[in-house]
Amino acid sequence: MGNLSAGAFLVALSGIVIVFIMLAVLCFMIPIISKVVQSVQKKPVRERVATSEQKPAPAAAPAVTAVSGDVALIDVDEKTAACIMAIVSHETGIPLSELIFKTIKAI
């Protein structure tokens, strides 16, 4: 029985040692592999400069025209209509000044 437990201890110890050796090897291999991959993915400096110079200018934003129109309210008071417009603006993320409401009707 004494030899069996000593043998089991040696097997467990050798397994733990092998695991730590492999972890140490991985600690050295990961930075090396990372540098190799980065060097393969890098563009030459001339290509980066050429592509940065060829970028087109951003398009001009469309002119916003102020539209002041009346909203047709059908069976809805102004307070409720204002709440509905505010909720639509909030839920869609579009500013209220960019939304155009033509009709608000109670269902």
- pTM, two decimal places: 0.37
What letter represents residue 48's amino acid? R
Query: How far apart (Å, rounded) are the C-alpha atoms in residues 79 and 76?
Result: 8
Which residues are 74's β-sheet partners?
105
List, run by run, the mean pLDDT of 10-residue segments along the chain (107 residues).
77 96 96 91 64 61 55 89 92 89 88
- Joined together, the tokens standing for residue 70 give 């009346």
Residue ranges of domains in the chain: 2-53, 72-105
CA atoms within 13 A on the CB side of 77: 2
Residue 11's pLDDT is what?
92
Whole-number pLDDT of residue 58: 63
DSSP state of 98: G
Query: Residue 52 belongs to what H/E stretch?
Result: helix 45-53
